[in-house]
Structures are given as C-alpha cells and as structure tokens.
C-alpha cells in the first residue's frame, strides 16, 4: 500500500497572500506526480504532471516543485485570489500512468 | 472539456439494493478507471478497464464489479449496498499519452 500524504488538510488564506502546501510520496519506484485542482461541483482539473527531480512547473500564479529523492512536492499559490479556493490533490501513479494513489487533499479557502 | 460524462449525477438508494453507474469517455481506445471518494478523503482506486477487460483492481470487495463496452463506455455496479458505500464515484479516462481526465462524478447516497 502506497502512502501519499498531503498537509495541511485545510488552509485559510487572506486574498493577496501567498501560500504553499506539501505532498509527500514514496521516493522509490517513482514515475510521476500529478497535481489536480478540484473546485466544488466541478471535475478535478489537471494542473501539472511532474516527472523529473528538481522539476519546477508554473501555470499562472500556481507553481510546483518536485524532490523525488526525498519524496515531496510543494504547490505554491502566489497572490491568492478567491477563485483559487478549491481542494488541491496530488496523485502518485503506481506505474507508467495507470492506477493513481491520491493524497487526502488540501482544501484552500481564500478570504476576500 | 475533460471529455468524460457520467450518469446519473445524483442517486439515492436503500441499503441492500443494487446500483449501476455509467461513464462515457469522449474518444475511444482509452483506459477507463473508477474511483470512490468518501467525504474528507482523497479518491480511492476501484478498478481499471481497457479493451473490455479489467486490468487492475484496488482493495474493494467483489460487490463492486464493472464492465466496459465495445464503444469504450463503462459501468460500475455495486451489489448489496451498505451505508458506507455513500460517496462520490469518479470515472477517469487515461489517454495513450498518459493524460488523465476526470468525469464530474456520481454522488451516491445510501440510506
């Protein structure tokens, strides 16, 4: 059983502030790490697929880093806006793109 | 557009009943996986279908079964429903380039 953990479980952020949160995963047999953003009443939306140690990806004000040797990834939100409020999920594939083990998610609430 | 539709959107069933949930990926020749997301938890892998065969299975009892049709659509069947089966059920299609797209989910409530 793979252990994928996210912390914190929830986060309240003031509009305009930056924030970050963590996903930890097994450091052996690494294929990739997926980040998803899940807004209430919508489908999870793929943010990033990270594959290389030291990888850093960016999409607008959201970015992510990856450390495969120590088994963690950070997701950063710069200058948080109310529309960033969502649950952010990381997922670890067991092999090349198949079965995903998800973390429990970090629920972000950005207050105006 | 994730290219995955699921039906129904919501469903209420009674303990002991059986339920069938449906998933239709937009394009063909994709792997289709089903996940269960209980309140406050991340999605848990149920099983995966490709070319009409179950390819991988998670830690779910035999009450959970599935099927994939020649048109790549898929069904998830749950027999003898328990209260603990109440959850959001997500269908995910994986393309040949390993991108994964989620459907909107079916919210199942067992009373």
pLDDT at B28: 63
**Cβ contacts of residue B33 below 8 Å, gap of 6+?**
A98, A99, A100, B45, B46, B47, B48, B49, B91, B92, B93, B94
Whether residue A103 lies within 8 A of chain B, CB to CB, comes out as yes
Interchain contact, A99 vs B99, CB within 8 Å: no
The answer on pLDDT for A52 being more than 60 is yes
Whether residue A101 lies within 8 A of chain B, CB to CB, comes out as yes
In this prediction, residues B56-84 reach a mean pLDDT of 94
Work out the minimum CA distance from A107 to partner chain B, whole angstroms.
10
The answer on pLDDT for A97 being more than 60 is no
The answer on pLDDT for B39 being more than 70 is yes
Whether residue A34 lies within 8 A of chain B, CB to CB, comes out as yes
The answer on pLDDT for B29 being more than 80 is no
pLDDT at B62: 96
CB contact residues (below 8 A), chain B span 24-83, against chain A: 31, 33, 35, 40-45, 48, 55-56, 58
pLDDT at B95: 78
pLDDT in tens, A2-40: 789 999 999 999 999 999 999 999 888 888 899 999 998
């Amino acid at each position: 059983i793979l252990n994928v953990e996210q912390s914190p479980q929830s986060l309240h952020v003031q509009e305009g502030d930056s924030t970050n949160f963590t996903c930890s995963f097994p450091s052996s047999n690494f294929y990739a790490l997926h980040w998803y953003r899940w807004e209430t009443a919508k489908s999870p939306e793929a943010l990033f697929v990270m594959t290389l140690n030291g990888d850093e990806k960016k999409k607008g004000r959201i970015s992510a880093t990856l450390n495969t040797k120590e088994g963690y990834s950070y997701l950063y939100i710069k200058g948080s806006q109310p529309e960033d409020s969502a649950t952010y999920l990381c997922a670890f594939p067991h092999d090349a793109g198949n079965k995903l083990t998800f973390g429990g998610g970090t629920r972000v609430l950005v207050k105006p | 557009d994730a290219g995955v539709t699921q039906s129904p959107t919501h469903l209420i069933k009674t303990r002991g009943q059986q339920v069938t949930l449906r998933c239709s990926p937009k394009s063909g020749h994709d792997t289709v996986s089903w996940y269960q997301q209980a309140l406050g938890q991340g999605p848990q892998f149920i099983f995966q279908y490709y070319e009409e065969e179950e390819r991988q299975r998670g830690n779910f009892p035999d009450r959970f079964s599935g099927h994939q049709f020649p048109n790549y659509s898929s069904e998830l069947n749950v027999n003898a429903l328990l209260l603990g089966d109440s959850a959001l059920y997500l269908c995910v299609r994986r393309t040949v380039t390993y991108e994964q797209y989620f459907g909107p989910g079916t919210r199942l409530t067992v009373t």
